[in-house]
Structure 1
């Protein structure tokens, strides 16, 4: 994606979240978090004058060092946050692997009633896809809590994060104007303007949900894919699995975002070209989203417009003390 021509101003941490967000829960549904990292994250978020509730199961389980705790412990933490009426927002601390273990244990009914935002990406794709499938909560494809302090130092990333958190707590989203956030490279472009909801996913995690009740329909959706540290054969396997399950058949468009430490772009491009040919849909690359320092964030299911390779999303009023108050200033577009 080309660098925006407009200078991006720095965002002050104390104005980052909407004022309606008072209590933030820190969940670890997948991999473990070092105690020092958790302590630093809690301190940083408390500096924003927030009440912070860390998960009990965070630092790992003996015999399963890749997990923050047993499936039961992790599910109990997440459900305690979902059922706590004082919690306004759940931030996932990190990804890794393990979110899929919790899908059959989550209190979907309460989450459906509360419409609670849950933010994260990468392995958190499993939670987000289940949320879409169950029509429960608000899935925010956003940066991890453990890296938030560093991420907010990048104005591009910070502004996109703030847009998403503001949008999540905006009641009448249809009144928010569309603004451009990316100019994409066409692999196979369509002639018509695409207007459809966005769904963001980690490619290999998305493929792992095939054949389950937690994979939502991608019909008339703009599907954004990212991944990290996967060789081309594994990316091919995941795309083929999704293709054979009909996931791409009715997509409005597919965007290949950041594939950090994966095979070279010249090896991934033929996979995208094949996907476009097999499904007769527009396919793009070059979106700054995923495991990269300069990354956009999205609300899964939010409206978007894709026209001429330019991606537009809604920008809410951005005086975070009151998203709809007179005199509130809008977030500036990225171009």
Structure 2
């Protein structure tokens, strides 16, 4: 789904700030907190911390999908609200978020969709309640703002993966079940189907620089990540594995955002880099453009760290469920990464 203009404007504004005004407010690393485990039959809360859902049937789709996974579902009190493009006022959306974390009956929180708006509630979240009641939260795209804020403020591992109204195909269902129900130490490797072509083309990875690296995996949507850069809600990326993805961004905008991550010190801290999918990010008309390959070469190759492109992360039908903030080991040459720690309290 396309992101809203104000997020892009926020990213541009942050990029214009002097380096000295950004670095002092970056969050320090906190001790990792594991969420409580999830099992079939548990109650999960469905909330909308970002944009409003445009069609009423989407609420049914999300609820029925989670029930088909074997879960019970409680709808947020303000889930179906609307204020402009947002799912209600900032207070409405923050109240639903805080209520689900405070409720001892709710074992996990699922975001129904992304869009834009999650960053508006970061200063209204009860982070102490999250620390006292650690539970999984799942979502992607604009939900990157919540992943970053929760990790920076509490150290809680969260989960970057399908939203409630996303695609629940067999691949995504297996990802969910392996992560939450089976609690596997998962290895993330692209699914490749040859199809009716001489060679495999879909879901191919490209090695930017071979090698292996270990670290906490952090990141998400590039535009949203850049928009919280320079705020107290930005995680400390020291020795981290950075993963990013995006949608509907011209390459020159990707270049601008990568420049921000370089200038604010993020890229200089990381030990490994994984680029997912940049859906609909082809160069537009005009005087020409750098390609995405050019941009990654310019910003990533000089870091001399393991890096690859093309992971099944982002605005694609089949996507990994990534434990944001967990320890992983990546192998850029094979285009894989694997969990090296259990991520749930049992």
Normalising by structure 2, we get a TM-score of 0.76
Equivalent in 158, 183, 198 of residue 139 of structure 1: 158
Can you give the 5+ residue segments of structure 2 that lack an aligned partner in the other structure?
1-36, 191-203, 284-288
Aligned residue number for residue 48 of structure 2: 28
Structure 2 residue 279 is the aligned partner of structure 1 residue 271: no
Aligned residue number for residue 52 of structure 1: 73
Deviations 1:211-266 (A, max 9, x none): 10000111111111100111112111111111110011021111111111112597
Equivalent in 317, 322, 326 of residue 298 of structure 1: 322
Structural RMSD (CA): 2.6
Secondary structure of the 2:266 match is coil
Distance 1:266 1:159 in 2: 37
Distance 1:46 1:284 in 2: 36
Aligned residue number for residue 181 of structure 1: 189
Range with bigger deviation, 194-203 or 112-121: 194-203
Distance 1:69 1:304 in 2: 37
Deviations 1:92-117 (A, max 9, x none): 00000000011111010010121111
- What does residue range 26-105 of structure 1 map to in structure 2 within 5 Å? 26-33=46-53, 34-62=55-83, 64=84, 66-105=85-124
Decide whether aligned partners of structure 1 residues 145 and 250 sit closer, same or farther in structure 2, where only a CA change above 3 A counts.
same
User: Contact between 2:328 and 2:341, CA under 8 Å: does it hold in 1?
Assistant: no
Query: How far off its partner does 1:200 sit?
Result: 3.4
Structure 2 residue 253 is the aligned partner of structure 1 residue 234: yes
User: Contact between 2:47 and 2:109, CA under 8 Å: does it hold in 1?
Assistant: yes
Secondary structure of the 2:207 match is strand
Secondary structure of the 2:267 match is coil
Number of paired residues? 288
Decide whether aligned partners of structure 1 residues 136 and 22 sit closer, same or farther in structure 2, where only a CA change above 3 A counts.
same
User: Contact between 2:329 and 2:340, CA under 8 Å: does it hold in 1?
Assistant: no
Decide whether aligned partners of structure 1 residues 212 and 46 sit closer, same or farther in structure 2, where only a CA change above 3 A counts.
same
Range with bigger deviation, 198-207 or 262-271: 262-271
Distance 1:290 1:216 in 2: 20
Query: How far off its partner does 1:21 sit?
Result: 5.4
Decide whether aligned partners of structure 1 residues 144 and 283 sit closer, same or farther in structure 2, where only a CA change above 3 A counts.
same
Secondary structure of the 1:196 match is strand
Aligned residue number for residue 106 of structure 1: 125
Secondary structure of the 1:96 match is coil
Distance 2:186 2:100 in 1: 33
Secondary structure of the 2:152 match is helix
User: Contact between 1:223 and 1:253, CA under 8 Å: does it hold in 2?
Assistant: yes
Distance 2:313 2:41 in 1: 25
Decide whether aligned partners of structure 1 residues 22 and 316 sit closer, same or farther in structure 2, where only a CA change above 3 A counts.
farther
Normalising by structure 1, we get a TM-score of 0.79
Decide whether aligned partners of structure 1 residues 290 and 196 sit closer, same or farther in structure 2, where only a CA change above 3 A counts.
same
Deviations 1:23-45 (A, max 9, x none): 11001000111322112322343
Can you give the 5+ residue segments of structure 1 that lack an aligned partner in the other structure?
1-16, 171-175, 318-322, 325-335
Distance 1:288 1:228 in 2: 13
Aligned residue number for residue 12 of structure 1: none
Distance 2:301 2:208 in 1: 10
Structure 2 residue 331 is the aligned partner of structure 1 residue 313: no
User: Contact between 1:188 and 1:273, CA under 8 Å: does it hold in 2?
Assistant: no
Equivalent in 196, 200, 203 of residue 222 of structure 2: 203
Distance 2:317 2:187 in 1: 22
Query: How far off its partner does 1:18 sit?
Result: 4.8
